[in-house]
Amino acid sequence: MPARSFIKAGFLFRSNPRNGQYNKVMGASFGLFRLQQVDRQIDQAQARTAEIQQTLENSEELLAAKNQLELAQAGKSQAERALREIEVQAKGQQIKIEQSESSLYGGKVRNPKELQDLQNEVAALKRHQSTLEERQLEAMLKAETQQTALQAAEVNLSHVQSRLGDQHSQLIEEQNTLARNLERLQVERRSIVVDIAKQSLEMYESLRQQRRGVAVVEILDNACSACGTTLTAALQQAARSASQLARCPSCNRILYAR
């Protein structure tokens, strides 16, 4: 059948939609329109799959909890080290005091000047000792605070891990569902593609890349639904052609008419 009469036949069927043969002649853009619907679903499923993968691999919340734990561990070690140092100093100070007191009360030193010096020395050592004791107390409190912070960080991390464990298993389940959907969509895609001419398919693929995923547009209210350009009656009729593709004169997309 020559293309011209074929189009004409298509037009006739369409002008009598109740004659039961309405669906027998489809416009050439119908296959591409369906293909685009499937391709959009494929794009969405792939984007969501990638998003889930990223969440699974790189959870900010988990990293933050681990970081908090590391900081708390470092803080606790530092506080304990400071406490040990002050304890050593306090102990050394205590020994000095005992030595000076034993000289003072041992009876070997009898010279009043020397005794006075020793007494002054013991008093100075004791003053410094009480300063050290205050510092020791501060260091102990700080070490306790750090210990509490560390425990809180450990509890927080385990909560985050268990919550993410639940969330992650849900995400993995969603990913499996998406993979099954993608398989089904690819089968559907192949079944659509076999009926489309190679040239049309190439035009569709390159337009989809150029036009942010939208290569085929429906005619709505006598206009291109992508760019809004009003289309002539002749162009709208051409969009129903079973043998050739009509393009929007403004955005160049392939036109599809229901």
Binding site for Zn ion (CB under 5 A): 224, 226-227, 229, 248, 250-251
Indicate the residue among 115 and 251 with the shorter CB distance to Zn ion. 251
Indicate the residue among 118 and 216 with the shorter CB distance to Zn ion. 216
Looking at residue 251, what DSSP letter applies?
A: T
Indicate the residue among 161 and 250 with the shorter CB distance to Zn ion. 250
DSSP bridge partners of 247: 254
DSSP bridge partners of 224: 219
CB of 254 to Zn ion, least distance (A): 10
Indicate the residue among 229 and 232 with the shorter CB distance to Zn ion. 229
CB of 220 to Zn ion, least distance (A): 11
Contact 158, 66 (CB under 8 A): no
CB of 248 to Zn ion, least distance (A): 3
* Per-position DSSP letters for 113-130, written without gaps between them: HHHHHHHHHHHHHHHHHH
Indicate the residue among 28 and 149 with the shorter CB distance to Zn ion. 28
Contact 120, 183 (CB under 8 A): no
Indicate the residue among 45 and 255 with the shorter CB distance to Zn ion. 255
CB of 170 to Zn ion, least distance (A): 41
CB of 227 to Zn ion, least distance (A): 3
Q: Pairing state of beta strands 254-256 and 216-220?
A: parallel
List the strands of the sheet with 223-224, edge to edge: 223-224, 216-220, 254-256
CB of 239 to Zn ion, least distance (A): 11
Give the tokens for residue 110.
């009898």
What is the C-alpha to C-alpha distance for residues 128 and 138, in angstroms, rounded to an integer?
A: 15
What is the C-alpha to C-alpha distance for residues 138 and 86, in angstroms, rounded to an integer?
A: 10
